[in-house]
Amino acid sequence: MTEKDTNKKMGLLHRFSLITLVAIYVLILVGGIVRSTGSGMGCPDWPKCMGRWIPPTEESQLPANYKEYYSGKRAEKNLKFAGYLRAFGFDESADRILNDESILIESDFNKYKTWVEYINRLTGVVIGFCILITCFFSLRLFKESKTIAILGVLSLVLTVFQAWFGSIVVSTNLVPWTITIHMFLAILMVAFLVYLYFVSGKRVNINLADNSRTKLKAILVACMVIGVVQIFLGTQVREAIDLIAAQMGTANRHNWIGELGMEFIVHRTFSWLVLILHGLLLFYMMKKNVISKLVYALLGVVFLSIFTGIVMAYFGIPASVQPVHLLLGTLIFGLEFLLFLQFSVKRGH
């Protein structure tokens, strides 16, 4: 195969992995909207919604016993899932799911929440096709790079697993730890696609001594680790807010922050560490004269993330800001990882 053919295949993968990456970020945003509006159980079954491929718009279109029916279906799925958990030694989690009667309580039909969740699922279907095409383009490069081909296949496998696990999130009625795992699987998908996007692009030679390169990568690793921890802490705050919202109601949204405990204080404190580390990154890159537009984009997203956090803390956690805050946090990780790859991975062309 000629170099021209290889470059053409790389170019196709490069462009389509970027399209897929953007689509995943759109899904993360839509998923955030689903959670901030409390629409996660708008479709109590999976993959259909209210037993239909196109959901109803009125409760009269549903059978009289729809709550009992979908509750029973979820109970069956939860029993199977509990069996999987026991097989891996998570007996306590299995017992908690099976013994928590609130998991099977079916919500009243709300057409707005149903359609918000339905749009979320449609977005997931689009991404599934995008991942499938990305995998195809990756496999075409098997002879040139087995790593690219393997990552393409892993991305597809992870997407299928993510879709299945999404059904578990629904069947367990949004048990907090399942939502957290669902979120981190999405971040892992971002990492796979950022890598495919990077290795299939054109080489950018960065003139930097090995010891300076090592220090810079260390700073970036620290930024990524703290960023992932910060996302995890954010999920804990989100879980606490869900409980408070259930107790106080949405009319008292402005009082939610005051009811939060240590998880909010730690999350807020970590934002300073995120800011300091990225300030150090900017200082070191300017010192070594390797500053780039990507770094400025990263810093801009960091400031926006902190700003949206401040807005939520002091303005009653606006539902419109919550999904944006989540999106920015995951976007920070993607930009950090791309920057890390620029200083560590050798590319073929």
3-state DSSP assignment of residue 49: strand
Separation of first and last alpha carbons in the chain:
15
Calculate the CA 152 to chain-centre distance.
Answer: 18
49: β partners: 52
Global confidence as pTM: 0.88
User: In 10 A of CB 187, how many CB atoms?
Assistant: 18
Q: Is the previous residue joined to 323 through a cis bond, with omega within 30 degrees of 0?
A: no
Cα torsion through 259, 100, 29, 294, rounded to 10: 80
pLDDT tens per residue across all 349 residues of the chain: 577 778 888 999 999 999 999 999 999 999 888 888 878 888 888 778 888 888 888 888 888 888 888 888 888 888 888 899 999 888 888 888 888 877 888 778 888 989 998 998 899 899 999 999 999 999 999 988 899 999 999 999 999 998 888 888 877 876 778 888 888 999 999 999 999 999 998 766 677 787 888 899 999 999 999 999 999 888 888 888 877 877 877 777 788 888 888 888 999 898 999 999 999 999 999 988 888 888 999 999 999 999 999 998 888 888 889 899 999 999 999 999 999 998 885 444 4
CA distances from 234 to 120, 225, 330 (A): 21, 14, 11
Nearest residue to 342 (alpha-carbon basis) of 300, 297, 303: 297
Q: Please tell me the distance from the alpha carbon of residue 257 to that of residue 273, in angstroms, as a whole number.
A: 21
Task: State residue 328's pLDDT score.
Answer: 94
Task: State residue 248's pLDDT score.
Answer: 78
Task: State residue 174's pLDDT score.
Answer: 67
Q: Please tell me the distance from the alpha carbon of residue 220 to that of residue 222, in angstroms, as a whole number.
A: 5
3-state DSSP assignment of residue 288: coil
